[in-house]
Structure 1
Amino acid sequence: MLQLAFVNFRKGSYILVEDKAESDRFYIIQGGKIQITKETEVVAEEGGNILGPGDFIGVVSSMSGHSQIETAVAVTDVTLISVRRDQFSELIEKNTPVAMKIIYSFTRKMRYLDEALTRITLKKNVESDITHLFTIGEYYAKLTKYNLALYAYYHYLKNAPNGPYAAVARERFMALKSMGVHADPSLLEPKSGEMSRVYPVESMIFCECQPGMELYIIQKGQVKITKIVDNNEVLLAVLKVGDMFGEMALLENKPRSASAIALEGTQLLAVNRQNFNQMVSTQPQLIARLTTTLADRIWLMYKQLANTLITDPVGRMYDMLVIQLEKLKVPFQAGKAYTFDFGPMELANMCALPKDSLNRVVTEFLREPIVRLVDDRIAVSDMVELSKQSAYRKKMLNIERSRAEGRGTGTNSTVLW
């Protein structure tokens, strides 16, 4: 039986504090009002920063197991319902509307964080025009990845049969087929009722801008998530067994924001809207896992966006190292060294630093006393010192920014849109 605790806070009380260690519980507001603030407002909060009855706080930190990304202060006396992380599956069963409200709010938040991150790091708006499918087909055709090109042409023609590039796409599609490029109907148009899907290596699972009606769980193999930006393939993630992807298109009924390609022979469990609705009542643990996945991605996207607002390049690299440690949930121990699985140039690219300054910034970064290279990988001599240096640099930047703005003190209130 689901037993939830009620917690009361007086007006002015701090309920959550940004960057504090993760909590094993989140809160649903039963009565009163709460103000949400962030040291760095990376995007405008949907619905504003004042929350009331029915809203919830602390879910991202609780479900992801990461540090808090916001501060919550009671504007009035408030009564909260406390929900432990291990109670979420039961909450889905007993109070499905509340659980689904959390999930749908997560997908909306992921959508606008993804759009902001794409604008800042890739210098590009998220593509939603169906003609981008034709562009993707052209890109892969030039690389002689003909099966990927065939998929993109096919879905462009399906969704825009009279589009501006329809004649060319049709010609390209038929030419590829005449060359013997395999067009397995089960890959081009999987049957919606078949939950188990098998994809050969280098086959397209779905394409950026394509309408989406399913999410996927990897049962075997690996999948890469990519975007085509300025005629280049940008690798966003490599997913492995147990990972989920494609949930935003399913839950929001919007086009795919990226492409998914099998890196090796891959088996997937496909979940459509009907299956998803059934799983809410029959497999709450799976829905809880989805919520954890979404929370983890939101936490990382927020941290990445906040990182882009750090104007000190070396400070940005310090911050990104801390983010990577927190992402992997590596415990910070004083005097404990750590070696990352990437080098300084990869780190600079993670930070979306300008290409014309990479060499200079990397050289400066490698002069830092706690940083060294081990087999071309970054190693830090003390994880706690790394965290302190990162926090100090951000604090100094905020002080400088406040002085420049003539406010004396304050926090960075830059908003990306």
Structure 2
Amino acid sequence: MSESSFARYGREYLPGDVLFREGESGDVMFVIQSGAVRVSKSVAGEDKVLAVLGPGEFVGEMAILNGKPRNATATVVEPSRCLVVEARTLQAMLQRNSEIALRLIKKLAKRLDAANALVEILMHRDPKARVMLALARHAEAFGEETPEGIRVRTSPADIAREVDVDRETVDEVMARLRRLKLLADGPPAPAAIVVADMRRFIDFIEFLETPRKLGGES
């Protein structure tokens, strides 16, 4: 997008800026051009990170589409540039351009899959498995491709809270994955996690899960 277009529709945000809060009404959505935005939800008085979204992703669309209050809070975690799209503008774009509508539908379907995956992860009895499955969920649904692998912006602390394990367990699992070369040794940015080989990572999880599935554990 040109600078003139960004000057018209775009805004710049700093880490800590809140785009919107859970429970608020909303009539705009945000398209992330650069940076990152954390999406979190309050569960039993504790913030659970649902996703950390990067360039090309959008956030805040559900309040426009269903007319209900915001179901999560969106907080900027890296210096960001976002396009701010009003409800009437989004409606006009969807009516004029079927490609945009299809892209929106695919994104929403992908996020629904990620939400369903989180429910299944939380039902898993093994805390270490929950950590690996959470990493896979973030990498597949919200990861960014880099030369080193798939970058996951969600922090180890966020993953610990997300799947109800202690931070030491998360660090132990990640150290093991790094020894196996499934996670890159040198993240390109502070607190970033990089899945070096997504296919091998998924195969490794499936290998570990096989005895449980054969045993019929729910």
Same fold (TM over 0.5): yes
Deviation of residue 339 (structure 1)?
8.2
- Counterpart for residue 3 of structure 2: none
- Counterpart for residue 180 of structure 2: 370
Amino acid corresponding to residue 106 of structure 2 in structure 1: T
CA distance in 2, matches of 1:313, 1:339: 23
- Higher RCO structure (Cα 8 Å, ≥6 apart): 2
User: 1:399 and 2:211 equivalent?
Assistant: no
SS at the partner of 2:26? coil
Gaps of 5+ in 2: 1-7
Deviation of residue 325 (structure 1)?
4.7
CA distance in 2, matches of 1:381, 1:261: 27
Q: 1:354 aligns with which of 139, 158, 165?
A: 165
CA distance in 2, matches of 1:246, 1:284: 20
- Counterpart for residue 198 of structure 1: 11
Deviations 1:22-59 (A, max 9, x none): xxxxxxxxxxxxxxxxxxxxxxxxxxxxxxxxxxxxxx
RMSD value, Cα? 4.2
- Counterpart for residue 307 of structure 1: 121
Give the TM-score of the pair, scaled to structure 2.
0.64
CA distance in 1, matches of 2:55, 2:96: 22
Deviation of residue 340 (structure 1)?
6.1
Judged with a 3 Å threshold, the aligned counterparts in structure 2 of structure 1 residues 338 and 347 are, in CA distance, closer, same or farther, namely: farther
Deviations 1:146-196 (A, max 9, x none): xxxxxxxxxxxxxxxxxxxxxxxxxxxxxxxxxxxxxxxxxxxxxxxxx83
Map 1:140-179 → 2, pairs under 5 A: none
Judged with a 3 Å threshold, the aligned counterparts in structure 2 of structure 1 residues 348 and 371 are, in CA distance, closer, same or farther, namely: farther
CA distance in 1, matches of 2:20, 2:28: 10
SS at the partner of 1:269? strand
Deviation of residue 257 (structure 1)?
1.1
Judged with a 3 Å threshold, the aligned counterparts in structure 2 of structure 1 residues 370 and 343 are, in CA distance, closer, same or farther, namely: farther
Contact 2:29 2:64 in 1 (8 A): yes
Amino acid corresponding to residue 370 of structure 1 in structure 2: L
Of the two, which has the highest radius of gyration?
Answer: 1
SS at the partner of 1:255? coil
CA distance in 2, matches of 1:379, 1:219: 21
Contact 2:32 2:55 in 1 (8 A): yes
Amino acid corresponding to residue 352 of structure 1 in structure 2: V
Judged with a 3 Å threshold, the aligned counterparts in structure 2 of structure 1 residues 205 and 276 are, in CA distance, closer, same or farther, namely: same
CA distance in 1, matches of 2:163, 2:213: 21
Which structure has more strand as a fraction of its residues?
Answer: 2
Deviation of residue 256 (structure 1)?
0.4
Contact 2:32 2:57 in 1 (8 A): yes
Deviation of residue 249 (structure 1)?
1.2
Judged with a 3 Å threshold, the aligned counterparts in structure 2 of structure 1 residues 237 and 363 are, in CA distance, closer, same or farther, namely: closer
Give the TM-score of the pair, scaled to structure 1.
0.38
- Counterpart for residue 85 of structure 2: 270
Deviation of residue 278 (structure 1)?
2.6
CA distance in 2, matches of 1:322, 1:379: 11
Deviation of residue 351 (structure 1)?
5.7
CA distance in 2, matches of 1:197, 1:382: 35
- Counterpart for residue 205 of structure 2: 390
Deviation of residue 254 (structure 1)?
0.9
Gaps of 5+ in 1: 1-194, 331-336, 403-411, 413-417
Contact 1:226 1:235 in 2 (8 A): yes
Amino acid corresponding to residue 64 of structure 2 in structure 1: L
User: 1:210 and 2:24 equivalent?
Assistant: yes
Deviation of residue 298 (structure 1)?
1.9
Q: 1:258 aligns with which of 67, 72, 75?
A: 72
Deviation of residue 352 (structure 1)?
1.1
Contact 1:217 1:269 in 2 (8 A): yes
Amino acid corresponding to residue 198 of structure 1 in structure 2: R
Deviation of residue 258 (structure 1)?
1.7
Deviation of residue 381 (structure 1)?
8.4
Deviations 1:216-258 (A, max 9, x none): 3345665443445666655544444432211111111111012
Map 1:290-301 → 2, pairs under 5 A: 290-301=104-115
CA distance in 1, matches of 2:200, 2:180: 8
Task: Tell me the number of residue pairs that the alignment of Structure 1 and Structure 2 aligns.
Answer: 200
